[in-house]
Structure 1
Amino acid sequence: MTLPETDTRNETTDQTSDNRPELFHYVQKDKVAESAVMGTYVVALCGEVFPVTRAPKPGSPVCPECKEIFDSLPPGQD
């Protein structure tokens, strides 16, 4: 029996300059498109300020501080 050839690739995670995985943050929905198109900066729930350059993939790591703040918001405040 002959097995088919396979292509083996290492799974990579984007890293920050200090070798931590890149985290995605919660920001106001209405600011995401503007930031992505115009390059303006957004402020995440945790206070991080940055331009939106990518959309998270399902299962991407989320900033624990943003998640804690988001989870503490009353319903309808997201």
Structure 2
Amino acid sequence: METQTIERTDTDERVDDGTDSDRPKHFHYVKKDKIAESAVMGTHVVALCGEVFPVTKAAKPGSPVCPDCKRIYASLKKS
């Protein structure tokens, strides 16, 4: 049996300089009990604004919040 090496020229190497488009522009409000499950199991969560995604990063204090989530959350607190 003979083995061949195939060289791929279509690779994409990136350096994380903080401007990666995969990073969230803002963070969303989701049900607290679903965050850990999503982070561990890779399941998707549904934000207040309706966005569906897996949790991959934790928001730090002062992180930008989704304007729609923020508005919906504020309206829920009033009632």
Q: Which amino acid aligns with 2:29?
A: Y
Q: Is the 8 A contact 1:15 1:22 kept in 2?
A: no
Q: Please list the CA deviations of residues 17-59 of structure 1 after superposition, one character each: whole Å capped at 9, or x if unmatched.
A: 6xxx611000000100000000000000000000000100110
Q: Which amino acid aligns with 1:61?
A: P
Q: Which amino acid aligns with 2:48?
A: L
Q: 2:46 aligns with which of 5, 30, 43?
A: 43
- Give 2:55's aligned residue: 52
Q: Which amino acid aligns with 2:46?
A: V
Q: Is the 8 A contact 1:35 1:42 kept in 2?
A: yes
Q: CA deviation at 1:14?
A: 4.7
Q: Map 1:58-69; keep pairs closer than 5 Å.
A: 58-69=61-72
- C-alpha distance in structure 2 between counterparts of 1:56 and 1:22, whole Å: 11
- Give 1:8's aligned residue: none
- Aligned identity (percent) is 68
Structure 1 gap segments, 5+ residues each: 1-11
- Give 1:29's aligned residue: 32
Structure 2 gap segments, 5+ residues each: 1-16
Larger radius of gyration: 2
TM-score by length of 2: 0.68
TM-score by length of 1: 0.69
Structure 1 segments of 4+ aligned residues over 6 angstroms from their partners: none
Aligned-residue Cα RMSD (Å) equals 2.1
